[in-house]
Structure 1
Amino acid sequence: MRLLFEEIRQQGYTGSYSHLARFVAAWKDSERPLDVIVEATVEPPSSTLAAPDFHPCFKAPAIDPTTGRRISPLTAAALCMKPRGQMTPRQICTVDALKAASKEFTIKRQLAMRFRGLFHSGSREKLNEWLWDALSCGIYTIRRFATTLRHDIDAV
């Protein structure tokens, strides 16, 4: 990893080593080479999450159907957490475009909506189910969040 970091710094990379490490971490467990591109249009089952078979690269960035522009990561993150019933018609179109472009976004959104629902239910059993699904989803950021929650489960 240090060799990679030094090589890309010589080519103009200005980010930190930790940013690079987080970016590459998603590929560490993958059995596929980095240049594999996937079709990311399959919805996960609605009842439970199986460990998905996907790669963190996407064929193309999600395009906002109303503007024709690329959807920013900040917009995607905000819409990942927002319930559909509180969205404008334009936001719904954007979420649908993100889901069509990214299997990872679909899984993140499903987990985010379930986590949001946990606050209303107060069910320890449902939290344990959510933690299991989050830890086995294959998405680094979700697994990291779930691991942190599990470490602080008494406070949670």
Structure 2
Amino acid sequence: MRKIILIGPTGSGKTTFTQGINNKKRKYKKTQSIERDKEIIDTPGEYIENRRFYNALITTSFDCEIIGLVQDCTRDECLFPPSFAAIFNKPVIGIVTKVDSEEKNLAYAEECLLDAGAEKIFKVSSLDGTGMDEIKKFLDIDSFTAEKGELQR
């Protein structure tokens, strides 16, 4: 599996996604610092919520191959600045979480991630497994060129 860093606001589902993709029992906790679980780097929500932590995201991204921007589809606010992905020299994907929720706005979540610069969007639910096989397959298959750092379509 290619190493991915997850970036998103507090409560967006980064830790639950990490537990789901690694087939671990869910236990809820507040991520206080950068955590590594197999090939996933889980960052605290404060790192996107406070611009002063952007340098920590950039520095930590050197240890991965893919940047994953995480947006909860039940939220009506986007914390990713337009073209945020441009600060990384890696392919950037968007991960829309909580798609199993009754109160969701998938179009807004996708728009948020596309405006931020995500090249490909995955819609997932870590609770019922929706979309998890697709993103697992993506992370296992060599679908980007390392020299160019671009996703292959």
| TM-score of the superposed pair, with normalisation by structure 1 | 0.27
Structure whose alpha-carbon radius of gyration is higher: 1
More strand by share: 2
